[in-house]
Copies of this chain bind each other. A is one copy, B any other.
Amino acid sequence: MNMTTGGMITGALLIGSRDVMEGPEFRAVDPTRGTTIEPAFTEAGPADVAQAAALAAAAFPAYRATTPEQRAGFLEAIATEIEAIGDALIERAAQETGLPPARLTGERGRTTGQLRLFASWVRAGGADEPRLDSPLPERKPLPRSDLRLRHIGIGPVAVFGASNFPLAFSVAGGDTAAALAAGCPVVVKGHPAHPGTSELVGRAIRKAVADAGLPEGVFSLLSGTSHGLGGALVADPRIAAVGFTGSRAGGLALVNIANSRPVPIPVYAEMSSINPVFLLPAALAARAEALGTGFIGSLTMGAGQFCTNPGLVIAIEGEGLDRFLASAGAAVQAAQAATMLTPGIAGAYARGVTALAQTGATEIARGGAEAGPNACRPALFVTDAAAFLAEPALSHEVFGASSLVIRCRDEAEMVDVARAVEGQLTATLHLEAADHPLAAQLLPVLEEKAGRILANGWPTGVEVCHAMVHGGPFPATSDPRSTSVGTLAIRRFLRPVCYQDLPEALLPAAVKRGNPLHLPRLLDGKIVSTPEPEAVK
């Protein structure tokens, strides 16, 4: 047992209000040193999955019956409890991930800000999204009934913590915040690379559950290293939806399990994206050197371990591209090797870079020599558009600070490359006013390929707000209809229910006649936030 300032790490599974410490053990690895870290963590087994799912199902009716204000207050309390852990959280996360404390402090702010944004969105009616149609008793040939719609939580949600954001896409990350905001209990399958961080955050959520007087099953945390654990969770009949961020193979495996259930369920898997960046001619002519250094800054940030890392750069050959490559190449050579999240990720990066070279891409530059057991050296490759279009392997994501520059002969070939890429989280245009005609050709293609289109920026920052889309067509995600970041993500975990002619006394508050929750509501096709007029007699 290891007491820290703001939290406790025991190695237990958190199943509702109960600590479970029976089962095989595993330990986290300090990737910077290549050594294991105490304490031992409990590996969850099938019985633990079943118990957590049963508690979640038992908690669902009471939890989804909370008012928007109650649910918002609960989300805010989670944020406060996470802050209350203090430095212990940052220290443990840094030790388990090799990420610098400054980055983790920023990520903690993003995590708590995300919980508070969802709280405000729930208060603003973003979970209920009520819709009313006035009765028309005199209508011929048939009267219209009194019809009222609200959204309710879809049921208990399984959330898979991601390795690369140990706070913002993990135990209390975006999927957990969205699911809790939607009124769904959450069972987290914690990522085995940061089990101590997960337990600290899990205990913060558990305390908020208890303080709010909510049923214990609103939240459970299961840890473990086996693929079977995640599969068992997705297969459990009480789980109603799944949020996942990770590899393409991992995501597709969960999708297949979900589709094979007697009752299939939605899986929101964010999987694979190489985030093409198009350098248009006038922008390249105007600022090739600055683009080169900006690009490598985005590429190497966080050891390149972002889903939105710019893994593909497309430009037309010529003097501007040569200057860009010289600048980017120099920046790569000057870049330090950086510790990756896990030995597995570091190994996969090394293999991916080797495969790129073997597939015919030419190495332009590598970053500084390796500094530790799991450090990665940034890498920059180049190839021409014809080779890229002919070789699908050149499109494979290499998770880490590796990128491939595509030389195009002309604008038409640049558009061809845009058409050839798979679905992406982001697509970026660097442009000047003179580039607008070419950008106007690329935009409709990119809209069908990506969830977010940026101009004159780099894709590695993802704002948590109302207008964000962190999603996109397959294989970027398994479901292009949604986002995993921002308030629109709440729709992942909601379903609509219509009430026809229900007596006022039995109507849920969100759709009662007097609008007691003061929510914006769609009344006969128009948004109104005042109480609706009396029904037509």
Contact = CB atoms under 8 A, between A and B. Distances in A.
B266 A255 contact: no
A27 interface: no
Given A65-B444, A120-B525, A498-B468, A436 B503 contact: yes
Contact of A502 (B433, B455, B475): B455
Interface in A425-459: 431, 433, 436, 439-440, 443-444, 447-448, 450-457
A525 B147 contact: no
A40 to B, nearest CB: 37
Interface string A70-86: 00000000000000000
Contacts of A38: none
Contacts of A141: 106
Contacts of A457: 145, 500-501
Contacts of A436: 503, 505-506
Interface stretch (A227-235, A321-329, A478-486): A478-486
A467 B131 contact: yes
A132 interface: yes
B455 A501 contact: yes
Interface stretch (A2-10, A170-178, A193-201, A488-496): A488-496
B469 A133 contact: no
A67 to B, nearest CB: 15
A370 interface: no
Interface size class of A (residues with CB under 8 A): 35 or more
A509 to B, nearest CB: 13
A142 interface: yes
Interface string A32-61: 000000000000000000000000000011
Interface stretch (A149-157, A160-168, A350-358, A376-384): A149-157
A444 B60 CA distance: 10
Given A454-B500, A496-B488, A466 B525 contact: yes
B467 A494 contact: no
A469 B455 contact: no
Given A466-B522, A467-B133, A452 B498 contact: yes
Given A468-B149, A498-B451, A506 B440 contact: yes
Contacts of A503: 431, 433, 436, 455
A264 interface: yes
A156 to B, nearest CB: 11
B505 A444 contact: no
A471 interface: yes
A144 interface: yes
A399 interface: no
Contacts of A439: 506
A218 to B, nearest CB: 16
A456 B65 CA distance: 24
A242 B340 CA distance: 42
A229 to B, nearest CB: 23
Contacts of A465: 133, 144, 147
Contact of A453 (B154, B453, B498): B498
Please indicate which of the listed interface residues A266, A447, A482 has the most CB atoms of chain B within 10 Å of its own CB: A447
Query: Which interface residue of A266, A456, A473, A481 has the most chain B CB atoms within 10 A?
Result: A481
Contacts of A471: 495-496
Contacts of A467: 131-133, 147-149, 498, 522
A247 interface: no
Contacts of A481: 154, 266, 491, 494-496
A525 B455 contact: no
Given A259-B259, A455-B506, A495-B480, A152 B500 contact: no
Contacts of A155: 448
Contacts of A154: 480-481
Interface in A347-372: none
A536 interface: no
A290 interface: no
A474 interface: yes
A426 to B, nearest CB: 8
A371 to B, nearest CB: 26
A43 B455 CA distance: 49
A426 B130 CA distance: 19
Q: What 7 A-B pairs are tightest by C-beta distance, nearest first?
A: A469-B498, A149-B467, A147-B467, A452-B498, A454-B500, A133-B465, A131-B467
7 contacts: A145-B461, A433-B503, A451-B495, A451-B497, A455-B501, A466-B522, A487-B525
